[in-house]
Amino acid sequence: MKVPFLLCLLLPALAFSHGGGLDNQGGHFNRKTNIYECHKEPCFSIHQQAKEAYQQAKPGTFSRVYNRKDWPHWIDADGDCQNTRQELLIATSKVPVQFKDYRRCTVRQGKWYGVYTGQTFDLASDVDIDHIVPLAHAHRYGADQWTKAQRSVFANDFENLLVVSTTTNQAKSDKAPHEWLPPQKSYWCDYGKRWPRVKDKYGLRYSGQERIALDSLAETCL
């Protein structure tokens, strides 16, 4: 993975750069190439530090191999036949939901606003439940030492869950904010606040380039 390239894609929008002059990081957004370019310090140092931080935190530095099966998600905590996914769909629908059958275990229809894209969805089959801080990412930054019970709490925590489009969830995968941000830029500030709130809540570590991206978001969202 070429971290400097990923940061180049991210920094333009975060820095609100313009065509001619340099921003306070010593770079600017080239609107012709759609790439953020470094011209002087501290820009070069920031990118080098990000690269080194990524190498230090790359897969293989944690003690256990990530396996999604080790993370009990979509559990039925209260025993009412509605698991975490269904409970979230019910809680976030803009209209009363409709169920697949009389047992009322599985949601079929409702109205959900996907904050990542600004789209509205009527069918439950068209949405995924996204872990804002992905399970695999959490595993790499401290959760590899957790018990199964701790992983279950994290995987089903409403504060770390959002209803999103299936395609957007797949595009995000296990990426951190320096690698991926929601297509709808108006949600970037909220996303930049929820990500560290979840990580701090569970005592998860940060990489250098992740911190750079979050700090840039925080500066533009004041």
**144-170: pLDDT as tens digits:** 999 999 999 999 999 999 999 999 999
pLDDT at residue 81 in the model: 96
For 14, other C-beta atoms within 10 Å of its C-beta total 27
Q: Is the pLDDT of residue 47 over 70?
A: no
**117-139: pLDDT as tens digits:** 999 999 999 999 999 999 999 99
Beta-sheet pairing, 35-38 with 107-114? unpaired
pTM of the model: 0.73
Q: Is the pLDDT of residue 191 over 70?
A: yes
Is 121 in contact with 112 (CB distance < 8 Å)? yes
Higher pLDDT, 56 or 103: 103
For 165, other C-beta atoms within 10 Å of its C-beta total 19
Percent of the chain with pLDDT over 90: 68
Higher pLDDT, 176 or 2: 176
Q: Is the pLDDT of residue 83 over 60?
A: yes
Q: Is the pLDDT of residue 96 over 90?
A: yes
Q: Is the pLDDT of residue 7 over 90?
A: no
Higher pLDDT, 74 or 55: 74
- Residues 31, 19: Cα–Cα separation, whole Å: 7
78-87 in b/e form (b: 16+ CB < 10 A) is eeeebbbbbb
